Amino acid sequence: MHAPVAPVREPLIEGHKSYHNITEDLCAPTEKAPSLSWIIAFVISVATMTFGLFALAWTIWFGIGSWNLNRTIGWGYDITNFVWWIGIGHAGTLISAILLLFRQKWRTGVNRAAEAMTIFAVVCAGMFPATHTGRPWFDFFMFPYPNTRGPLWVNFNSPLLWDLFAISTYFTVSLLFWYTGLVPDFATVRDRAVGFRKKLYNILSFGWTGSAKHWQRWEALSLVLAGLATPLVLSVHTIVSFDFATSVIPGWHTTIFPPYFVAGAIFSGFAMVQTLMIITRKILNLQEYITINHIESMNKVILLTGTIVGVAYLTELFIAWYSGYLYEQFAFFNRAMGIYWWSYFGMMACNVLSPQIFWVKKYRRSIYITFLMSIFVNIGMWFERFVIIATTLARDYLPSSWSYYTPTWVEIGIYIGTLGIFFTLYLLFTRLAPVVAVAEVKHILKSAGDQYIGERAKGSQGSESIHESAH
Amino acid sequence: MSQHTKEVFFGLYNDEEDLIHAIEEANAQHLDIMDVYTPFPVHGLDKVMHLEESRLHIAGFVFGSLGFLTAFGFMTWVSVRDWPTIFGGKPYWSVPAFIPITFELTVLFAAIGMVVSFYTVCGLGPGVSNPVLDERITDDKFCIAFETSNADLDALKAFFAKTGAGEVHTKTI
């Protein structure tokens, strides 16, 4: 029934699981009382979120004068954090959509959590454009709505408007894709629950029965949504990069930005997936579903995209020199050797040099090194955006207006607050929904379970194939 | 939901391969299967059950085209007819600048349209609760269900016994 699996493939589900074991293991976290570590993490996350909301309220009350932006540096922490969060969101769609099209079975272990992460990251990202004007009650001005001023429409030639459409579409499509995948698993939880939880999951599961026709349509829908989400995820960070690339600022005005931003986004997204998954698999006891093989696969993606980003950095430097254009040359000299030299070197060390450690298989399969590296990459990618934004603006055409930017406590507070929002939502998600896609893991059991393939399979793979060819 | 109840006679299998063989056997015996329920998508079911390929992708294309026309048509109308404005010395009808939003709305309309179509044709949605034949169908049991009203019960019992159903039940839904 299942297509033969190459003997080099390593099992993705360990522990000789039956279908029922999978249901038990993956639904258990939503059914037990929260562990002490969960409660501590939740309290810390809510506290950070509250601080962030306070800083946000401060901004709205006193205006964006409470930020340290100035005439020269008009974009600072807000846009840096916006791009950072959007980038983090990219891994979820990559795992769920692109790896579905490529038929990569290891996606089933991490796709659910990664998609949830995408949605929460986009929520955090969206806060910055929504509030950076200091007047969020005028946000509806961004949409083309019939108004009494003509009507005067929005500027459809502006990349900032494209960005609004890209982010809103991305959020909506990711949410629909994620929820449609969740419906059968909510039904599994519903059929095990009693009392109030049964009522809750009855609503969430939309009356799912598991009918063969519904499954067929569900798979058709997933496939087409994956096909739509694949160009979408590439378009989102491309359009984010247009915010910079279509301007005439030296250091921003480059055609390399779209592919370089997309690679960087996938890079940082996978790093955040690693950070979360390493903690999640430990706390929720999911080591048999999110195995070292999953972690190694993601480390390979990190190595590849990190190297692409490195090539992009070097290409930028080369082109700046080769262009013979003085302002461009100065912009890049300033990045590496100017007042913000430390952020450039932080970016280079974290994003380009440190992932090279993953050429060594031993390190790719080490949990501690992976965790440490994922933090490095998150820091490095934050620095990248800061380098592109603040460093470039700090030294503009007119030396008399050169400036320096350091964030105020309000800006730092909002940033920390978004981390709080992100982790609060993620922790709630781990309580409410199965963190690993139950039905999809069952679907790959017979081609990826360790009792069917790999060294510990009943009747090793080699002898079985000889046996079959003898017929 | 329909008010009239019906009696359902169903068997539960422990493995998807047994299920496929059982359906093939049911086809051979010309038994009229009401529905088959599985805990995860079982490939090959559509073939043995003679399910037609889903037409959801057509809905996706239609809604996507609608999104494309909406976005491109609206931006054209705004820029050429309603309030022509020159941005950066470009023509009013600056097609390359319209591509990103046109693309995004194509994807958005296609995705929303397909998801809504999916839940509508499946009869699923918030607030819908369909009868559950057995609570283990979403766990590890594979179910073939027959309506008893138009079937020979003894033939069905013999069929389930022959194809190795682990359990057989009757339920009024």
Q: Is A100 on the interface with B (CB under 8 A)?
A: no
Strand partners for B171: B8
Q: What is the mean pLDDT of residues A97-113?
A: 85
Give the model's pLDDT for residue B17.
87
Q: Which pLDDT tens digit goes with each residue over B13-62?
A: 888 888 888 888 888 888 888 889 999 998 888 888 888 888 999 999 99
Q: Is A28 on the interface with B (CB under 8 A)?
A: no
Asked if residue B2 is part of any domain, the answer here is no
B109: closest CA of chain A, how far (Å) = 9
pLDDT band at A3 (very low <50, low <70, confident <90, very high): low
Give the model's pLDDT for residue B3.
59
Strands across the sheet containing B7-13: B33-37, B142-147, B7-13, B167-172
- Give ∠ CA B56-B143-A195 in degrees, rounded to 5: 90
What does DSSP assign to residue B145? E
Q: Tell which A residues from 404 to 443 touch B, by Cβ distance under 8 Å.
A: 439-440, 442-443
- Residues B60, B105: one domain? yes
Q: Is B139 within 8 Å of A19 when comparing Cβ atoms?
A: yes
Whether the link from the prior residue into A129 is cis, omega within 30° of 0, is: no
* H helix count then E strand count, chain B: 5, 4
Give the model's pLDDT for residue A464.
44
- Residues B109, B138: one domain? no
Q: Is B128 on the interface with A (CB under 8 A)?
A: yes
Backbone angle region of A206, left / alpha / beta, with phi > 0 → left and psi within -120 to 50 → alpha: left
Q: Is A210 on the interface with B (CB under 8 A)?
A: yes
B73: closest CA of chain A, how far (Å) = 12
Q: Is A17 on the interface with B (CB under 8 A)?
A: no
- Residues B46, B60: one domain? no
Q: Is A206 within 8 Å of B128 when comparing Cβ atoms?
A: yes
Q: How many domains does chain B have?
A: 2
- Residues B168, B153: one domain? yes
Any idea how long chain B is?
173
Asked if residue A252 is part of any domain, the answer here is yes
Q: Treating both helix axes as pointing N-terminal to C-terminal, what angle do A77-93 and A212-245 enclose, rounded to 10 degrees?
A: 150
Give the model's pLDDT for residue A24.
86
Asked if residue A213 is part of any domain, the answer here is yes
DSSP H helical ranges for A149-256: 159-192, 195-204, 212-245
Asked if residue A221 is part of any domain, the answer here is yes
Closest CA to B84 of A82, A257, A152, A356: A152
Q: Which pLDDT tens digit goes with each residue over A246-290?
A: 988 888 988 899 999 999 999 999 999 999 999 888 888 888 888
Q: Tell which B residues from 59 to 88 touch A, by Cβ distance under 8 Å.
A: 60, 64, 74-75, 78-79, 82-83, 85, 87-88
Q: Treating both helix axes as pointing N-terminal to C-terminal, what angle do B56-76 and A212-245 enclose, rounded to 10 degrees?
A: 30
Q: Which domain holds residue B64?
A: 56-122
Task: Please give the Cα distance from A214 to A206 (Å, whole number).
Answer: 12
Query: Containing H/E element for B147?
Result: strand B142-147
Q: Is B139 within 8 Å of A188 when comparing Cβ atoms?
A: yes
Task: Please give the Cα distance from A400 to B144 (Å, whole number).
Answer: 80
Asked if residue A435 is part of any domain, the answer here is yes
Q: Is A183 on the interface with B (CB under 8 A)?
A: yes
Closest CA to A271 of A379, A167, A171, A169: A379
**3-state secondary structure (DSSP) of residue B11:** strand
- Residues B99, B142: one domain? no
Q: Is B36 within 8 Å of A20 when comparing Cβ atoms?
A: no
At A86, which amino acid appears?
A: I
Closest CA to A376 of A336, A334, A347: A347
Dihedral sign (CA A9, A375, A416, A391) = negative
Q: Which positions in chain A touch B94 (Cβ < 8 Å)?
A: 157
Closest CA to B38 of B53, B51, B55: B51
Asked if residue A459 is part of any domain, the answer here is no
Give the model's pLDDT for residue B92.
92
- Residues B24, B74: one domain? no
Residues in CB range of A438: below 8 A, 6 or more apart: A22, A23, A26, A27, A184, A185, A188
**Probe site for chain B from A183, A197, A215 (most B CB atoms < 10 A):** A215
Closest CA to A418 of A129, A91, A65, A133: A129
Task: Please give the Cα distance from A313 to A302 (Å, whole number).
Answer: 16
- Residues B48, B62: one domain? no
Question: CB–CB of A385/A237 below 8 Å?
Answer: no
- Residues B72, B17: one domain? no
- Residues B29, B64: one domain? no
pLDDT at A322 over 90: yes
pLDDT band at A309 (very low <50, low <70, confident <90, very high): very high
Asked if residue A468 is part of any domain, the answer here is no
Q: Is B124 within 8 Å of A192 when comparing Cβ atoms?
A: no
Q: What is the mean pLDDT of residues A300-305?
A: 92
Give the model's pLDDT for residue A461.
46
A39: closest CA of chain B, how far (Å) = 29
- Residues B115, B80: one domain? yes
Q: Taking CA atoms, what residue in A is nearest to B95?
A: A157
- Residues B82, B67: one domain? yes
Which has the higher per-residue pLDDT, A233 or A95?
A233
pLDDT band at B1 (very low <50, low <70, confident <90, very high): very low
Q: Which pLDDT tens digit goes with each residue over A388-443?
A: 999 889 988 888 989 899 999 999 999 999 999 999 999 999 999 999 988 888 88
Q: How many domains does chain A have?
A: 1
Q: Is A121 on the interface with B (CB under 8 A)?
A: no
pLDDT band at B2 (very low <50, low <70, confident <90, very high): low
Asked if residue A128 is part of any domain, the answer here is yes
B140: closest CA of chain A, how far (Å) = 5
Q: Which domain holds residue A65?
A: 19-140+154-448
Q: State phi, psi for B143 to the nearest 5 degrees.
A: -115, 135
Asked if residue B1 is part of any domain, the answer here is no
A20 alpha carbon, distance to own chain's centre? 31
State the average pLDDT for chain A: 88
Q: Is B140 within 8 Å of A156 when comparing Cβ atoms?
A: no
User: Strand B7-13 vs strand B142-147: parallel, antiparallel, or unpaired?
Assistant: antiparallel
Task: Please give the Cα distance from A335 to A37 (Å, whole number).
Answer: 42
Asked if residue A49 is part of any domain, the answer here is yes
- Residues B69, B118: one domain? yes
- Give ∠ CA B46-B48-B50 in degrees, rounded to 5: 60
Q: Is B5 on the interface with A (CB under 8 A)?
A: no
Q: Residue A294: give its domain's CATH number.
A: 1.20.1630.10
Question: CB–CB of A221/B142 below 8 Å?
Answer: no
pLDDT at A81 over 90: yes
Closest CA to A95 of A261, A258, A301: A301
Q: Is B124 on the interface with A (CB under 8 A)?
A: yes
Asked if residue B114 is part of any domain, the answer here is yes
State the average pLDDT for chain B: 88
Q: Residue B135: give its domain's CATH number.
A: 3.30.70
